[in-house]
Structure 1
Amino acid sequence: MEHIDHILIVDDDREIRELISSYLTKNGMRTTVAADGRQMRSFLEGNAVDLIVLDVMMPGDDGLVLCRELRAGKHKATPILMLTARDDELDRVLGLEMGADDYLTKPFAARELLARIKAVLRRTRMLPPNLQISEAGQLLSFGDWRLDTVARHLIDSQGTAIALSGAEYRLLRVFVDHPQRVLNRDQLLNLTQGRDADLFDRSIDLLVSRVRQRLGDDAREPTYIKTVRSEGYVFSVPVEISELRP
């Protein structure tokens, strides 16, 4: 049976919820709507979805708070596309920092929202074809860390799993599959986003900052991801590959 993408729409504006739901349904998707964080949590307690469309400006817990909550819970790997009524770079930065996979400013064309949803789903389900990766089902070890390529999370020296957003995993995977090689921002955008890349110039720098934080890397004197002035970034430690044990 063919899979039908299930989209959860979280927005306090009923008209926008219904408009998005109607358009996505007409284009072959299944939708569920929620007016706030409480309704979102209630639905997600017993249900999984393929992507969450999450409004930033909502009463109570806003979209940024909810995004951070989702990234810390059992739905940490679910793609999130954030909406906001403000064309404010700070919101865009915060959304990416909290773990959103893409960002769209209101007002928007329903066709563009659909295109972005499809692009995020494609990026989530497959690594870009131009990215040469190591075999699936392996642990990639470097320094004090291991990267689980099946669960897509970091494991520290104590064996504790550290959750990664989809964007964080893709960027870190690029680095560990190309260690000790300088990669510029355009290359990183292409390798992590493919032709669907539609992010502003600072997005890679923000992602690098987030991944450094996950690794406990000091941005001023990083151990793992070093900045090469006027060129880009380099993953500066060797990587060892081992098989994942069941």
Structure 2
Amino acid sequence: MIVGILEDIVTQAGMVEGWLSKAGYDTEVRHDGDSFMELVRSQRVDVLLLDWDVPGKSGIEVMRWARETFADTLPIVMMTQHDGEDDIVFGLNQGADDYLIKPLRERELIARVSAQARKYYPETQRAKTVEIGKFALDIGSQVATVDGKQVALSQREFDLALMLFENVGRIVSKDVMIKRIWGGVDRKYDATLATYVSKLRSSLVLRPKNGLVVSTVYNYGYRLERA
């Protein structure tokens, strides 16, 4: 599933691209409306994620063009600072399937994009789930469950859980964890990482009685093990 991202602020585009990649989506980023239209003309894009205020053709103009060209075959989600009721109604009436107001939030953005993907491509959209025993992590919705009951995890706790569950039985180094969570390796985060791992143990009740434990590998990292 390829998400086309139209966003002129490079750091914002990179952040959204990172969120979507982590959720299992492929991405294509453009920073102006004209090059984004050329992208959609020339190659496959399954979901359009459009900022309103960009150089060249605006996000609204791109959306009108997409609806005229592809009718209702592509899901379109607006992401913008235009937060007035009139703006939201205008964007939806121009053809947006959904409308996100900045500042963006990772879980909400992934959930909204996933909802449109499920609606438009029901035959291909399957949320990836990592399951071990009674534990399950739904990557698409960013939801953790134990025995089918949802467990409230912060975004960082979910990301850490996913790294451990995808590498059950193997050591995940602190460097890898810190880079994923904070964007770069820095030993100043060691204590904070330990706190998050401790909270994760408690939230998911990772204890021998439940079949999984998180072991600390001294001065190196952590390992999820079957009890």
- Which residue of 2 is the match for residue 109 of structure 1? 105
SS of aligned partner of 1:73: helix
Aligned partners of 1:120, 1:74: CA distance in 2, in Å?
A: 16
- Which residue of 2 is the match for residue 13 of structure 1? 9
- Which residue of 2 is the match for residue 61 of structure 1? 57
- Which residue of 2 is the match for residue 22 of structure 1? 18
Q: Could you list the per-position Cα deviations for residues 127-157 of structure 1 after superposition, in whole angstroms to 9, with x for gaps in the alignment?
A: 9xxxxxxxxxxxxxxxxxxxxxxxxxxxxxx
Pairing of 1:50-199 with structure 2 (within 5 A): 50-74=46-70, 76-126=72-122
SS of aligned partner of 2:79: strand
Greater C-alpha Rg: 2
Matching residue within 41, 46, 49 for 2:45: 49
Aligned partners of 1:27, 1:34: CA distance in 2, in Å?
A: 20
Question: Amino acid of the residue matched to residue 49 of structure 2?
Answer: V
Give the C-alpha shift of residue 36 in structure 1: 0.9
Give the C-alpha shift of residue 66 in structure 1: 1.1
SS of aligned partner of 2:70: coil
Aligned partners of 1:76, 1:33: CA distance in 2, in Å?
A: 22
Q: More deviation in 92-101 or 117-126?
A: 117-126
Q: Per residue, is there more helix in 1 or in 2?
A: 2
Task: State the Cα RMSD in Å.
Answer: 1.7
Give the C-alpha shift of residue 60 in structure 1: 2.9
Query: How many residues matched?
Result: 123
Unaligned 5+ residue runs, structure 2? Answer: 124-227
Query: TM-score normalised to the size of structure 2?
Result: 0.51
Question: Amino acid of the residue matched to residue 18 of structure 1?
Answer: G
Q: Which gives a bigger RCO, structure 1 or 2 (Cα 8 Å, sep 6+)?
A: 1
Question: Amino acid of the residue matched to residue 49 of structure 1?
Answer: V
Query: TM-score normalised to the size of structure 1?
Result: 0.47
SS of aligned partner of 1:28: coil
Q: Could you list the per-position Cα deviations for residues 19-44 of structure 1 after superposition, in whole angstroms to 9, with x for gaps in the alignment?
A: 01111111111000010111112212
SS of aligned partner of 2:8: coil
SS of aligned partner of 1:104: strand
Question: Amino acid of the residue matched to residue 8 of structure 1?
Answer: G
Aligned partners of 2:112, 2:41: CA distance in 1, in Å?
A: 26
* 8 Å Cα contact 1:8/1:49 also seen in 2: yes
